[in-house]
Structure 1
Amino acid sequence: MFELMRRRTLLSFFHCTLSLLDPEGDVGILVQADVVSMVQSNSGSRKSCDISVGKWVYDDSYPLYDTNCPYLSSAVTCQKNGRPDSDYEKWKWKPSSCTMPRFDALRFLGRMRRKRIMLVGDSIMRNQWESLVCLVQGVIPTGRKRVTYNGPAMAFHAMDFETSIEFFWAPLLVELKKGSENKRILHLDLIEENARYWRGVDILVFDSAHWWTHSDKTSSWDYYMERNNLIRNMNPMVAYQKGLSTWARWVDQNLDPRRTQVIFRSMSPRHNRENGWKCYDQKQPLPVLSHLHVPEPMVVLQGVLKRMSFPVYLQDITTMTALRRDGHPSVYRKVISQDERQKSGKGLSTDCSHWCLPGVPDIWNEMLSALL
């Protein structure tokens, strides 16, 4: 059964070139695949269309909700925080060889009836969870929706659909614990403390990359531990591979593909070169990428997923999102004065990792809805 499901699942990995080609006359920015390496084959509808290859097209009918959505964190409500432009909200993704449907909240909730969908990962996955909740909440009457909290998890409930859209905080997937002398220890081979929350969920969407790439000064741990070995230094991508392999073993051994669908969303690109000001005052997507390469975490993730027996779909948003340096909060993480804005980077911190909402994560969720 596992092998049959494996053969039916698509895991795509791309080496892309970007250009301003516009074969259909639409104003847009094109991502064209030169090489598509099919790691797993597929006999379903995804066979003829890779929705991660396409272009950004300006669409004045977007966004699909506004910043009055009550479930948005203040750090991502860039309009409320004083951002003067709004075009970053109006770009939609158009795949090259098919159509990605516009997000339809009622249709999505209908398909998710009596199901639990859980997004697992870091603060950028929280970004995506807020987007998904805002995309659906507008069609639900007041009093028929609520949010509950359970330790590291939070859940939005659409009561009439018996549907929950949940977020679980696990930026490393594996366990991070305090040891002796208050030292922080990242256990590369332990995961059950987090994974016990994932049991019984119908659709699991994972991400994990950003925390693994933090430098020594910003690292969230002091030591690695594998079995009983305490390790001070390790190549971060070797550690990432070990942690992801622990996650993969748990999925293979504990989940049933007839009961649970698993998606792994690829790394969301940062635009924080030049001391964090690469995304400051950017008002449009990049037309091209001057240097295009596959990030190391993507290579590691591909290798781990390829070895799994459980069918996992890789939702590749990395290249398409790399063009969207215009979509970050930058200095608009909070309400700031005009004088502060005019500092143009001198002493004012920026956020070129997370995303303004409405914005780019809405498109990830349109893609997610299409995949489901």
Structure 2
Amino acid sequence: MATLITHLLSCFLLFSFFHCTLCLLNPQDEVGFLVEPDGFNMVQRNGDSSKICDFSVGKWVYDESYPLYDPNCPYLSAAVTCQKNGRPDSDYEKWKWKPNGCSIPRFDALRFLGKMRRKRIMLVGDSIMRNQWESLVCLVQGVIPTGRKRVTYNGPAMAFHAMDFETSIEFFWAPLLVELKKSPENKRVLHLDLIEENAKSWRGVDILVFDSAHWWNHSAKTSAWDYYQEGNNLIENMNPMVAYQKGLSTWARWVDLNLDPKKTKVIFRSMSPRHNRENGWKCYNQKQPIPFFSLQQHAPEPLVVLQGVLKKMRFPVYLQDITTMTVLRRDGHPSVYRKVTRQDEKQKQGIGHSSDCSHWCLPGVPDIWNEMLSVLL
């Protein structure tokens, strides 16, 4: 009898595996750009069916049916409206991400709002997360009648409200997650072991999506702080990745101690890569994804640190690894089209002219992050 039960259980698990895999398969063998991270895996601790498909490994496929919303979406900030700002090409809007062996369903605004009914989703982090928040708002707002949607502002937070669904899509500005304060001597002090001033706003939220990496990598000249502090110890110099690990560990302890996984889902989005270095990585006048890149020898330190912190947590945090896919998209940044350019400025473009190779044009790359997010939810 025990043997029969074991055999039936094995058959059930095998059927479930193939069913979940086949439901994600895309029968079309499309040609695209391939990324192979060579075993550089996501941290997945939820045990859900999405682990069958590693969304971080795949290729960019050109798709004429994109973008997913009108570039004139009223909730976009001027710095990311590249078409309005004079960018002459638009192919960067038409690439979708196809994981190896499966596909990410096209974003369905009504379905997403249905899943979010009477819930709060909050995106917490830096200006790249603001970039993603604007994308998510534009993805859903088109199906909501005028007068049944609004945006509210409250200090470091802003929220888009879909009234008929009693849903709010929120953004909370906390680029370092931990607290940055002014000392009595008017010095900027980054407290690596304090977080409650920010975290009190995260309580009661149904879905929390975090990012934090870019500000930790700022050079001494552009750093947002003068000193680090742990307890009573004031520290002037510290390896940025050591500081990042300490700050993330403070965040991880707060999540472990204060959130209930039965009530709150937590996702941490990995670092969005910059393309502002020399030797071919500058983003100006780039019109296609990079053909190939392997992270085997080039895994960004912040991603390695983040993985290490998440592995030690008790709370089941899902790491949404967008680094491996996004590193290929140097064509998707605003570059010099972060503002409307005058004719004399256009003549200087690409020659020492200020270029944004960190944020993303919208519609564009963050829309794909949100398609992935919709699947995870």
Distance 1:348 1:38, change over 3 A: closer
- Aligned partners of 1:100 and 1:370 also within 8 Å: yes
What are the ranges of 5 or more consecutive residues in structure 2 without an aligned counterpart? 1-26
- Aligned partners of 2:266 and 2:318 also within 8 Å: yes
Structure 2: distance between partners of 1:275 and 1:338: 28
Kindly report which structure 2 residues correspond to 1:197-276, keeping only aligned pairs within 5 A, or say none: 197-274=201-278
1:107 alignment counterpart: 111
2:6 alignment counterpart: none
Higher strand proportion, which one? Answer: 1
Select which of 65, 73, 78 maps to 1:74: 78
Structure 2: distance between partners of 1:348 and 1:269: 21
1:20 alignment counterpart: none
Alignment length, in residue pairs? 350
- Aligned partners of 1:276 and 1:350 also within 8 Å: no
Structure 2: distance between partners of 1:39 and 1:103: 24
Structure 2: distance between partners of 1:349 and 1:284: 21
Structure 2: distance between partners of 1:252 and 1:286: 39
1:313 alignment counterpart: 318
- Aligned partners of 1:330 and 1:352 also within 8 Å: yes
Amino acid at match of 2:300: P
Distance 1:39 1:324, change over 3 A: closer
1:6 alignment counterpart: none
Select which of 145, 149, 156 maps to 1:152: 156
Moved more, 208-217 or 30-39: 30-39
Task: Give the drift of 1:42.
Answer: 5.2
- Aligned partners of 2:36 and 2:293 also within 8 Å: no
Do residues 136 (structure 1) and 140 (structure 2) align?
yes
- Aligned partners of 1:276 and 1:351 also within 8 Å: no
- Aligned partners of 2:71 and 2:81 also within 8 Å: yes
- Greater C-alpha radius of gyration: 2
Identity level (%):
84
CA distances 1:141-175 after superposition (whole Å, capped 9, x unpaired): 00000001111000000000000000000000000
Distance 1:124 1:43, change over 3 A: closer
Structure 2: distance between partners of 1:277 and 1:36: 22
- Aligned partners of 2:44 and 2:319 also within 8 Å: no
Task: Give the drift of 1:352.
Answer: 0.1
Select which of 166, 169, 173 maps to 2:173: 169
Structure 2: distance between partners of 1:262 and 1:319: 21
CA distances 1:244-276 after superposition (whole Å, capped 9, x unpaired): 000000000000000000000000000001299
TM-score by length of 1: 0.91
Amino acid at match of 2:31: V
Q: Secondary structure at the match of 2:185?
A: helix
Amino acid at match of 1:349: S
- Aligned partners of 1:148 and 1:154 also within 8 Å: yes
Do residues 45 (structure 1) and 49 (structure 2) align?
yes
Task: Give the drift of 1:345.
Answer: 2.9
1:93 alignment counterpart: 97
What are the ranges of 5 or more consecutive residues in structure 1 without an aligned counterpart? 1-22
Task: Give the drift of 1:97.
Answer: 1.9
Select which of 308, 314, 322 maps to 2:327: 322
- Aligned partners of 1:277 and 1:330 also within 8 Å: no
1:121 alignment counterpart: 125
Structure 1: distance between partners of 2:228 and 2:302: 18
TM-score by length of 2: 0.90
Task: Give the drift of 1:197.
Answer: 0.3
1:17 alignment counterpart: none
Distance 1:148 1:314, change over 3 A: same
Amino acid at match of 2:323: T
- Aligned partners of 1:50 and 1:97 also within 8 Å: no
Do residues 360 (structure 1) and 358 (structure 2) align?
no
1:370 alignment counterpart: 375
Distance 1:36 1:275, change over 3 A: closer
Distance 1:82 1:183, change over 3 A: same
- Aligned partners of 1:93 and 1:363 also within 8 Å: yes
